[in-house]
Structure 1
Amino acid sequence: MSRVLINDANLSDLEIFEAQLGGAYIHSIGLPPKGHPGYREDQGEQRPLRFEHCELTGSTITSCNLKNLQINQCNIEGLTINGIDIDALIKRYQSEPEQTNQSPKKQSPSLTPLLNRTGAIFIPVRDIGKARDWYCGILGIPAVSAEIMNGHLCPLPMEGGGIILDTMPMWGGKEPGGPPTFQTPAFMFLTNDLAASYAFMKEQGAEIVTEIENDHWFAFRDPDGNLLMVCR
């Protein structure tokens, strides 16, 4: 069945076992969405799927609904979710002293309650829809996977530290000119090919502020005028 294509099919209760699926591309799985010819008002929710004894080394799961997903008795070495090493996270959690039924220890005045890492970066924008589409375009992110929330902010699904586009209604976004933009480089996008990235950003209509400097970086402005960097 190599290279077989199954499309627009009801495969409920299908069972596949002892099969080699190397290179398989499984996508758009679920009940027909509203507007699809096969959609029914009474279809309810899709019953859960089961994956057991599967070799998934090096595979990727992208833009999927994993609500209430359970992973049991699996080798998770190297498993990452949104850039976070889950195996290392679990080991760190397990190594922390048990605090159940114990009074919380008083923190030394020399310590800080802040964590030694940063979270997502906010980028001020004026039109959240246009900004979402532009950033998804330069980062290769499907726009449908970047949900606009509360009408003014949009978290971008990224590896490592995330980006949140925001019209900043509390911080100048309601003013005629919109929120203040970054006039110094706020952070850097990383690349393994600086020359290709420079040419690509030109093609995307970004305002190029510098040439490639010291064979290491260049600066550009996004459509809202934020000054940002690309670094190798």
Structure 2
Amino acid sequence: MATSSPVENRIGQVFIPVRDIARSARWYSALLGLPELELSHGDTICDLPTVGETRLALDANRPDFDTSGPPRFFFWTDDMAATVTFLTGLGVTLDSAVEDIGSVMFLQFRDPDGNPLMVCQRSVD
């Protein structure tokens, strides 16, 4: 039986820890095809424009972080082959080959700080 909670079942924002905010802002801009991004909060935060309600921010407030573990979220793509070519062209470190698990195909990679990231494509039936 579900209980009532004042905590909403929605994600507001995902924070990605980074060490060099300017470098990371340029890299994520290139990754996502965004124009040059503005820094805020004393040049320690960079909000990335996203489609949908969930926000994404680069956060340089705690530069001593651990990048171990799996990706904590993923980006969507409609063309995995083009995505692999694009990431390779950006010099991105790929952590896996494209894997197809039936419902989705996915690829794991890392940002310049070593944060694990993932991109997924829905399988076509």
Amino acid at match of 2:32: L
- Give the aligned partner of residue 111 of structure 1: 4
Question: Tell me, which stretches of 5 or more residues in structure 1 are unaligned?
Answer: 1-109
SS at match of 2:82: helix
Q: CA deviation at 1:148?
A: 0.7
For residues 127-172 of structure 1, give each alpha carbon's deviation from its aligned partner in whole angstroms, at most 9, with x where no partner exists.
00000010011101101xx321122111111112221000133xxx
- Give the aligned partner of residue 190 of structure 1: 76
- Give the aligned partner of residue 61 of structure 1: none
SS at match of 1:133: helix
SS at match of 1:216: strand
Q: Does 1:154 align with 2:43?
A: no
Residue pair 1:119, 1:162 contacting (<8 A) in 2 also: yes
Residue pair 1:124, 1:165 contacting (<8 A) in 2 also: yes
Q: Does 1:181 align with 2:70?
A: no
SS at match of 2:23: helix
**Counterparts of 2:34 and 2:13, CA distance in 1:** 17
Larger relative contact order, structure 1 or 2 (CA cutoff 8 Å, min sep 6): 2
Q: Does 1:204 align with 2:90?
A: yes
How high is the TM-score relative to the length of structure 1?
A: 0.47
Amino acid at match of 1:220: F
**Counterparts of 1:168 and 1:220, CA distance in 2:** 23
After TM superposition, where is structure 1 displaced by more than 4 Å over at least 4 residues in a row?
none
**Counterparts of 2:9 and 2:68, CA distance in 1:** 24
How many corresponding residue pairs? 114
Q: CA deviation at 1:188?
A: 0.6
Q: Does 1:131 align with 2:20?
A: no
Q: Compared with structure 1, are the counterparts of its residues 218 and 184 closer, same or farther at alpha carbon in structure 2 (3 Å cutoff)?
A: same
Question: Tell me, which stretches of 5 or more residues in structure 2 are unaligned?
Answer: none
Structure having the higher strand fraction is 2
Name the larger-Rg structure.
1
Aligned-pair identity (%): 39
